[in-house]
A and B are shown apart, each in its own frame.
Chain A
């Protein structure tokens, strides 16, 4: 049963620290998505990759967020420096283009 995995599941950090979230997409999927979910803003698309190439990252603050896909089995989302307003659940999802997206369990980030 193929699944998207994310690490860590929970992260508590202090303002100013670097945070790295990792995602292993389902093997064979050509598109990887990063989402952020908060009560206030709902589900927001931060960035997505197709065949490991970044297609759109307009949803994330460029000065502090960066997303990469060093190989087909790993996608990373980094925040440096982190701020309290970054507290949210970050989901990674993978799929074939804009077809069915399979979401990972999420990383719950708390920035103090």
Chain B
């Protein structure tokens, strides 16, 4: 089952913060986050394994809430380079295959 991402789109001014959520109807094994710029390939951001850990990458971090079956991606003090579509991909077990959400389009304006 495809994870649900919210919001579908968000527009920010440079320097503002954003949160993108990825929700599942079943227990998750891991969550993967990717960013894709228009006309380019997806680029890996981070992976989170079940356990509620939080990871960081520059000013982009993410959390994994096992109880809520949800992961959130946090972008702080957004930069123009953060624009793109963010996808979460989930695995339900170590033996399952990845299923991607439909993406969240993030636009950053100067």
Contact = CB atoms under 8 A, between A and B. Distances in A.
Partners in one complex: yes
A28 to B, nearest CB: 16
Given A91-B42, A103-B42, A42 B100 contact: yes
Contact of A102 (B32, B44, B97, B101): B44
Contact of B87 (A43, A59, A99, A105): A43
Contact of A45 (B30, B98, B101): B98
A101 B41 CA distance: 11
B42 A104 contact: no
Given A43-B87, A45-B97, A98 B30 contact: yes
A59 B40 CA distance: 22
A99 B47 contact: yes
Interface in A21-55: 42-45, 48
Interface residue range, chain A: 10 to 19
Interface residue range, chain B: 10 to 19
B41 to A, nearest CB: 4
A100 B42 contact: no
Contacts of B91: 98
B102 interface: yes
Q: Is the interface of A mostly helix, strand, loop or mixed?
A: strand
B98 to A, nearest CB: 6
Contacts of A91: 41-42
A45 B41 contact: no
A42 B85 CA distance: 11
A91 B42 CA distance: 9
B61 to A, nearest CB: 17
Interface string A48-69: 1000000010110000000000
Contacts of B41: 91, 103-106
B97 A42 contact: no
Interface of B: 30, 32, 40-44, 47, 87, 89, 91, 94, 97-103
Interface of A: 42-45, 48, 56, 58-59, 91, 98-106
